[in-house]
Amino acid sequence: MAIGTTASSDIAIEREEADGGTASGWLTLDNVSKRFGQHVAVHPTTLKVAPGHLMSLLGPSGCGKTTSLRMVAGFEAPDTGAVLIDGQDLSSLPPNRRKLGMVFQNYSLFPHLNVSENIAFGLKMAKRGAAEIGERVRTMLDLVQLRGYDERYPHQISGGQQQRVALARALITNPRVLLLDEPLGALDKNLRENMQFELRSLQRRLSITTLLVTHDQEEALTMSDQVAVMNHGRILQLGSPTEVYERPTTRFVAAFLGTSNLFEGTAIESEGDLCRVKLSPSVGGLEEVVVPTTRRVPSGSPIAFVVRPEKLQLSIDNSRKNGFAIEALVLDCIFRGSYYTCQLRVTGSNEPMIAYLQAQEAGGNDMPRAGSRTYLSWTPSSAVLLDEDLKC
Amino acid sequence: MLSRSNAARIGFRGAVGFAWVLPSTVFLIAFFVFPLIHNGLKGFTESGEQSAVTSYARLLTEAYYLGTIVQTLVLSLVVTLISLLLGYPIAYYLVRYADKSANLIIFLLIAPLLTSIVMRTFGWKVLFARTGLLNMLLQQIGLTVRPINLMNGYVATVIGLVHVLIPFMVLSISSVLRGIDRRLEESAQILGANKLQTFLLITLPLSVEGILTGSILVFMLTNGAFVSILLLGQGTIHTLPLLIYQQFMVTRDVNFASAMGNILLVFALVCLFAQLRVLRRRN
């Protein structure tokens, strides 16, 4: 499933020529907002994507990510603010004059045109000569490994192939910015993972500024340089995939990206980069914990922190040092191949805790039995303080 | 034993099932299939005083009858084209722009179908008359001084037919338009197509099936139209249905009338075949 290297370097050269050799492709959403009647789809939002970077807008449906993308495309006009590429305001340009590439969730291939006619569409609109169109379509077909499929119609090729055609069609015009609207949403799991790699390496090689919209956290984490997590029309957190995953700042981000165990309490005192917290209610017999913090937390302020399931350890005894342990009752464990997912009941928490355990031996003999008593422990550094609660 | 009783049961069931469709089958054979065959053969028997030439040969060789056939087809073509040119924008508006008014538009479209054909036709006659509403209006706004002869037949007939047949066109096209994924048009726009190019290169080709279905329907229905042409045509239009009526009721040449009927039937079959091809291409 590797991309043809020779073909893609041709494209890269072409791009440089098209751009006049200068690096470009700054995409800026400057204070854009959009409302539909009473419903605010996007609150005033500012976002900058560096040239050649892939930014994902991640969030549940209705969070405003698609509306944001459609404002960049020009299908929706922002109520306030503007979309800029390399400082040029796009507001007055209709979609067909913005020089963008876009891949839709269902690929939107033209059903009455064959593969090469689909790919050539953008160049035909740009009134390029037939010879140039033919050559560039061939290059594109090689790039997406669809040589020999040029005469097929969209309904005659598989979903993955349709996806590649859609990508080739979007890239052939050397767009300034590539927009991807849930581009892998319609593929099955294995193909989706393959295409994640393929799409990412192609995007890197062409070094094209890309805005990806997805509700799939895994897709956002694996493919992006930057992730903007959105909910209710606002960007809640912006950062690299590891930052966003390792240091969520809000409950929503912590819950939406992976699974997390939430603890609540009040700050007792903060010393340096640690904060002592009184758990309220106390959880599993534990009254006080220490969590890392990047700033001083006033005494008495409400605190919430999370611990990722993979950072929790299960042990029979309570002798772990340099950490905190709570009593827990194993509700259930599921074998997941390389690890187990366990649900545990602890006193003081209505929600069951989730822990991932590495499977030590084949056959699942080391799987904790449902109903057994155990201790859940973690090191102070693996707790993540949520900023959200500090502000209010 | 078991399989035999099963077979018997299935056989019994089959017999019961057949009993249910028996009445309608007998009815159709007696009143549809048999008359059709009978009619088809009648055209080959002697017709009127010209004993040597069969009805079909006469229909297809004599200038007057050929002219009638051509006029029938031309009228159908004209009505189909006008219905298409008027109907496509209506269908487009209905699907793309009308939200709350959609039901009202559909009601207005099919209203003529709910009205008695005689009422509808006389309604047009009243409007088109020398001292009718339309002429009065034209004179009032000063477009003409003297009343225009709107009842010259052909124009009135075409208007009357388009009026009643346009819903078939609009509904056929709108159902196909409604099924077109808007993201296809957006894809074309992102790729640099302006509104007109998007329509001509994407929307129109994708709605061809609706256009064909609607056109075939309108064409077939105009081929068989009778009352509108009789009442609005003022005797200036001679189509096959009118001629059939004449032959049957006035000349009483039943053989010749049935031959003409079969010519119409052949047109209808050609249209149905075309429609079948369109539907098959869709699948």
pTM attached to this predicted model: 0.79
Residue B99 distance to chain A (closest CA, Å): 16
Would an 8 Å CB–CB cutoff place B205 in contact with chain A? yes
pLDDT band at B6 (very low <50, low <70, confident <90, very high): low
Indicate if the pLDDT at residue A24 is higher than 80. Answer: no
- Are A354 and A300 in contact, with CB atoms under 8 Å apart? no
Compare all CA atoms of chain B with the CA of A118 and give the residue at the minimum distance. B188
The single-letter DSSP state of residue B152 is S
What pLDDT is stored for residue A333 in this prediction?
87
Identify whether residues A223 and A172 lie together within a single domain.
yes
Q: Are strands A80-85 and A88-89 parallel, antiparallel or unpaired?
A: antiparallel
- Are A128 and A177 in contact, with CB atoms under 8 Å apart? no
Identify whether residues A59 and A109 lie together within a single domain.
yes
Identify whether residues A235 and A280 lie together within a single domain.
no
Indicate if the pLDDT at residue A8 is higher than 80. Answer: no
Question: Largest Cα–Cα distance of chain B, in whole Å?
Answer: 94
Mutation target to probe the A interface, by most A beta carbons within 10 A, among B176, B180, B191 is: B191
Identify whether residues A22 and A156 lie together within a single domain.
yes
What pLDDT is stored for residue A363 in this prediction?
54
Indicate if the pLDDT at residue A2 is higher than 60. Answer: no
Residue A123 distance to chain B (closest CA, Å): 8
Comparing A53-57, A144-148, A282-286, B95-99, the range with the smallest average pLDDT is A282-286
Q: A376 — phi, psi (to 5°)?
A: -100, 130
Residue A146, CA distances (Å) to A121, A178, A207, B263 in order: 17, 21, 22, 52
**Coil vs helix vs strand at B68:** helix
Q: Residues B142-167: what's their mean pLDDT?
A: 81
Compare all CA atoms of chain A with the CA of B207 and give the residue at the minimum distance. A112
Q: Residues A48-53: what's their mean pLDDT?
A: 93
Would an 8 Å CB–CB cutoff place B45 in contact with chain A? no
Query: Is the confidence metric ipTM above 0.85 for this complex?
Result: no
What pLDDT is stored for residue B102 in this prediction?
87
Verify whether the Cβ–Cβ distance B192 to A169 is below 8 Å: no
Verify whether the Cβ–Cβ distance B191 to A104 is below 8 Å: no
Verify whether the Cβ–Cβ distance B188 to A112 is below 8 Å: no
What pLDDT is stored for residue A1 in this prediction?
40
Verify whether the Cβ–Cβ distance B191 to A173 is below 8 Å: yes
| Per-residue pLDDT tens over the stretch B57-104 | 888 888 888 898 999 999 999 999 999 999 999 999 999 988 888 889
Split into its structural domains, chain A has a count of 2
Identify whether residues A270 and A234 lie together within a single domain.
no
Residue B258 distance to chain A (closest CA, Å): 44
Smallest Cβ distance to B192: which of A112, A125, A179?
A: A125
CATH code, domain with A227 = 3.40.50.300
3-state secondary structure chain A: CCCCHHHHHHHHHHHHHHCCCCCCCCEEEEEEEEEECCEEEEEEEEEEECCCCEEEEECCCCCCHHHHHHHHHCCCCCCEEEEEECCEECCCCCHHHCCEEEECCCCCCCCCCCHHHHHHHHHHHCCCCHHHHHHHHHHHHHHCCCCCCCCCCHHHCCHHHHHHHHHHHHHCCCCCEEEEECCCCCCCHHHHHHHHHHHHHHHHHHCCEEEEEECCHHHHHHHCCEEEEEECCEEEEEECHHHHHHCCCCHHHHHHCCCCEEEEEEEEEEECCEEEEEEEEEECCEEEEEEECCCCCCCCCEEEEEECHHHCEEECCCCCCCCEEEEEEEEEEEECCCEEEEEEECCCCCCCEEEEEECCCCCCCCCCCCCCEEEEEECHHHEEECCHHHHC
Last residue of a domain, one of A226, A252, A278: A252
Mutation target to probe the B interface, by most B beta carbons within 10 A, among A71, A112, A167 is: A112
Verify whether the Cβ–Cβ distance B181 to A126 is below 8 Å: no
Identify whether residues A90 and A205 lie together within a single domain.
yes
Q: Which residues of A touch B184 (CB under 8 A)?
A: 108, 110-111
- Bridge partners for A274 per DSSP: A271, A292
Identify whether residues A212 and A279 lie together within a single domain.
no
Indicate if the pLDDT at residue A146 is higher than 60. Answer: yes
Would an 8 Å CB–CB cutoff place A169 in contact with chain B? yes
Choice between B177 and A23, residue whose per-residue pLDDT is larger? B177
Smallest Cβ distance to B202: which of A110, A169, A170?
A: A110
Identify whether residues A240 and A271 lie together within a single domain.
no
Identify whether residues A305 and A358 lie together within a single domain.
yes
Identify whether residues A266 and A162 lie together within a single domain.
no
Last residue of a domain, one of A209, A236, A252: A252
Q: Residues B113-129: what's their mean pLDDT?
A: 84
What pLDDT is stored for residue A14 in this prediction?
45
Indicate if the pLDDT at residue B45 is higher than 80. Answer: no
Residue B208 distance to chain A (closest CA, Å): 11
Would an 8 Å CB–CB cutoff place A108 in contact with chain B? yes
Q: Cα B140 vs. chain centroid, distance in angstroms? A: 36
Would an 8 Å CB–CB cutoff place A350 in contact with chain B? no
Choice between B166 and B259, residue whose per-residue pLDDT is larger? B166
What pLDDT is stored for residue A9 in this prediction?
42
pLDDT band at B131 (very low <50, low <70, confident <90, very high): confident
Choice between B96 and B9, residue whose per-residue pLDDT is larger? B96
Q: Which residue ranges make up each domain of chain B?
A: 1-42, 57-282
Q: State which of A93-97, A385-389, B52-56, B124-128 shows the largest mean pLDDT.
A: A93-97
Would an 8 Å CB–CB cutoff place B79 in contact with chain A? no
- The residues in A 109-128 lying below 8 A from B, measured between CB atoms, are 110-112, 121-122, 125-126
Identify whether residues A284 and A340 lie together within a single domain.
yes
Indicate if the pLDDT at residue A7 is higher than 50. Answer: no
Portion of chain B with pLDDT greater than 70, in percent: 89
What pLDDT is stored for residue B82 in this prediction?
97
Q: Residues A378-392: what's their mean pLDDT?
A: 76
Question: Largest Cα–Cα distance of chain A, in whole Å?
Answer: 76
- CA atoms of A186 and A190, how far apart (whole Å): 12
Last residue of a domain, one of A234, A252, A270: A252
Choice between A184 and B197, residue whose per-residue pLDDT is larger? B197
What pLDDT is stored for residue A389 in this prediction?
56
pLDDT band at B4 (very low <50, low <70, confident <90, very high): low
Indicate if the pLDDT at residue A156 is higher than 50. Answer: yes
What pLDDT is stored for residue A21 in this prediction?
40
| Per-residue pLDDT tens over the stretch B240-252 | 898 888 888 888 8
Indicate if the pLDDT at residue A11 is higher than 80. Answer: no
CATH code, domain with A341 = 2.40.50.100
Comparing A84-98, B128-142, B191-205, B253-267, the range with the smallest average pLDDT is B128-142
Residue A271 distance to chain B (closest CA, Å): 55
Verify whether the Cβ–Cβ distance B186 to A108 is below 8 Å: yes
Would an 8 Å CB–CB cutoff place A94 in contact with chain B? yes
| Per-residue pLDDT tens over the stretch A77-107 | 999 999 999 989 998 999 999 999 999 988 8
Identify whether residues A244 and A263 lie together within a single domain.
no
Average pLDDT, chain A: 86
Indicate if the pLDDT at residue A20 is higher than 50. Answer: no
Burial class (CB in 10 A: 0-12, 13-18, 19+), B175: middle
Mention the CATH class of domain B57-282. Answer: mainly alpha
Verify whether the Cβ–Cβ distance A73 to B190 is below 8 Å: yes
Compare all CA atoms of chain A with the CA of B191 and give the residue at the minimum distance. A122
Mutation target to probe the B interface, by most B beta carbons within 10 A, among A76, A83, A97, A104 is: A104
Domain ranges, residue A185: 5-252
The single-letter DSSP state of residue B19 is H
Choice between B282 and A62, residue whose per-residue pLDDT is larger? A62
Verify whether the Cβ–Cβ distance B190 to A106 is below 8 Å: no
